[in-house]
Structure 1
Amino acid sequence: MEFNKYFDHTFLKAFATKQDIDTLCQQAKELNTASVCVNEDWVAYCKNLLKDTDVMVCSVVGFPLGQCGLNTKAYETKEALKDGADEIDYVLNVGDVKMGNFDKVKEEMETLTKICHAQNKGIKVIFENCYLTKEEIKKCAEIAKEVKPDFIKTSTGFGTGGAIIEDVKLMKDTVGNDVEVKAAGGIHSYAEVKEMIEAGATRIGASATVQIVEEYNK
C-alpha cells in the first residue's frame, strides 16, 4: 500500500473552524491520504471539497466518551452517512466493558456495523485502550472478530493515553485477518508509524500527517 494511504488525516478539536477544515482537506488532497476524519458537522462540507478525489470522509460517532447510548449512536451514524460519510469511527461504551456487559457491547457493535455495511460504508470501533486492561482489550477484539466491523481502533486521542505497540499487537493477534487495526492517539513521527505498521496496524489516525509524510520522504 502507498504510504500516504495509511492515514486518516484528522482534525477533531472543539475549536475547528472553516479555515482549519479547508486546510485539512487541502493537505489530504495534496498527500492523497485514505481519508479526513472530522466531527459530523463537517461531513457534508468535506465531502464537497473532496468530491473530485478518492480521499474518503470519516466521521466520529459517540465521540469522545462513548456513553451517549445506542439509539443516539445509531442516529448519529445514519445522519453522518446521509451527509456523505464513507467511514464511521464510533466509541464503544467503556463503562459497559468495565462492568462486563459484553452482550451490550456486542449488540452495539452489531447494530452500528449493520447500518454501515447495509450502505457499503466502513466502520471502525474505538476501544479507548488507556482505560482497559489487556484482558478487556482482548475480549473486545474477540467480539469484533465475530461481528466483523472493518477496523478496531486503539484510542480517541482524548483519553489519558494513545496508541501503544503492545496494544496494537494484542488487537491484531486476536482478530487475525478478519478485522483490520487502526492505531491513533499521540502518533507524531515516522518512527512511531513504522512501529505501528510493523505491529499490525493498517490505518493510522494522526493530525501530524504532513510532518510524518515529510519525514518519510526524506
Structure 2
Amino acid sequence: MNIKKYLDSTYLKTAEQAGLDEVNNVKVVKGFIQEAIDEQFKLIMIRPNMVSLAKQMVSDADSNLQIGTVIDFPEGRSAVADKLLEAENAIQDGADDLDFVCNYEAFKNDEIDLVKEEILKGTQLGLENSKVVKWIIEVAALNDKQIIQLTALIKIVVMSNFKEDDFASVFVKSSTGFYKTENNLPNGATIASIILMLENATPLPVKAAGGVRTYEDAVEMIKLGVKRIGTSGAKAIANGENTNIGY
C-alpha cells in the first residue's frame, strides 16, 4: 500500500500555540513543507497565511505537492460572508484544498438553514475554482446522533445541488484536532466516529483527522474506507513509526 497518497501532512499551530516566536514558527512551517515535498506526500495542510509561502516553495521545487488550508479555523462560528472571503483569499494565494470548519454549534442549536447556506456557498465557491472542499464537523463536539445527522446534511446539500462528477471533490472531515475535550477524551478521529461518517457520507469521501498516530492506525482507517488522513506525523507514519505529535 502506498500510504503516502493518503496523507495530508499537517501543521496548523500558531506561533503562540507552538510556544515560538513568529520567525521560528515560520521556520517550522518551512520544514514541514520541505519534508512534504521530499517525501512526496499528497498534500501539505497549513494555515491560510502560509499558503503563498508554500506555493513558492512548491513552484521552486517543481513539485506536485498540493496545498491545503483551513477556513474559519478552529471554531467555525464566523458569518458565511466572512468564511467565503477567507476562502477566496486562500484561492488567490494558491490553495488547492479548502477545509472549512462547519458551524457545528449552529447545527447543535438547530440553525439548520444557516448551516445549509454555508455548505452550499462554500462548496460552490470551491468547485467553481476547481478546488477540493472538505467540511470539518468536529466529532468530539458531537454525540453519535449529531455526527450522523450533520454528515447526512452535508451529503444531502451536496447531492441536491451539484453534479455526480463533483462528489469525489467534497469531503466530510472528522476534526480540527484543536477541540478541547474533558477527561482526556479523544479530540480527533476515532474508529467509531469514522464508521458513522462513512455510513452516512457515501458517496462523498471521508477524511480522518487528528488521532491517527501509527502506520497501523492509518491502514485501519484506509481499510474502513477513508480517502484522506490528516496528521502532523506523516513522515513517521509513512516509515512505520509511532508519533505522539499533537495534530
TM-score range relative to shorter protein: over 0.9
1:9 corresponds to which residue? Answer: 9
Candidates 149, 159, 175, aligned match of 1:155:
175
How far residue 145 of structure 1 moved from its aligned partner, in angstroms, is 1.5
Kindly report structure 1 stretches of 4+ aligned residues shifted beyond 6 Å.
Answer: none
Considering only CA atoms, is the larger Rg found in Structure 1 or Structure 2?
A: 2
How far residue 29 of structure 1 moved from its aligned partner, in angstroms, is 1.0
How far residue 3 of structure 1 moved from its aligned partner, in angstroms, is 1.4
SS at match of 2:239: helix
2:74 corresponds to which residue? Answer: 64
Candidates 91, 94, 100, aligned match of 1:90:
100
Candidates 214, 233, 237, aligned match of 1:189:
214
Matched, 1:21 2:47: no
Alpha-carbon deviations, 1:166-186, whole Å to 9, x = none?
11111111122x211000112
What are the equivalent positions in structure 2 for 1:94-133 lying under 5 Å apart?
Answer: 94-133=104-143
Candidates 31, 55, 58, aligned match of 1:47:
55
1:173 corresponds to which residue? Answer: 199
2:46 corresponds to which residue? Answer: 38
Aligned-partner Cα distance in 1 for 2:130–2:192: 31
CA contact (8 A) 1:163 1:184 kept: yes
SS at match of 2:9: strand
In the superposition, the TM-score normalised over structure 2's length comes to: 0.84
Aligned-partner Cα distance in 2 for 1:21–1:130: 26
Aligned-partner Cα distance in 1 for 2:122–2:108: 21
Identity fraction in percent: 32
Alpha-carbon deviations, 1:83-139, whole Å to 9, x = none?
000010011112111112222111110000000100111110000010111111111
Counterpart code for 1:184? A
Aligned-partner Cα distance in 1 for 2:110–2:124: 23
Q: Size of the alignment, in residue pairs?
A: 215
CA contact (8 A) 1:40 1:80 kept: yes
Q: Which runs of 5+ in 2 are unaligned?
A: 16-21, 159-168, 182-186, 242-247
Candidates 228, 238, 241, aligned match of 1:213:
238
In the superposition, the TM-score normalised over structure 1's length comes to: 0.94
Aligned-partner Cα distance in 1 for 2:171–2:89: 21
CA contact (8 A) 1:8 1:206 kept: yes
SS at match of 2:221: helix
Counterpart code for 1:21? V
SS at match of 1:183: strand
Alpha-carbon deviations, 1:159-217, whole Å to 9, x = none?
121100111111111122x211000112211111112112221100000011101117x
Aligned-partner Cα distance in 2 for 1:211–1:64: 25
CA contact (8 A) 1:40 1:59 kept: yes
Bigger Cα displacement from structure 2, 67-76 vs 78-87: 67-76
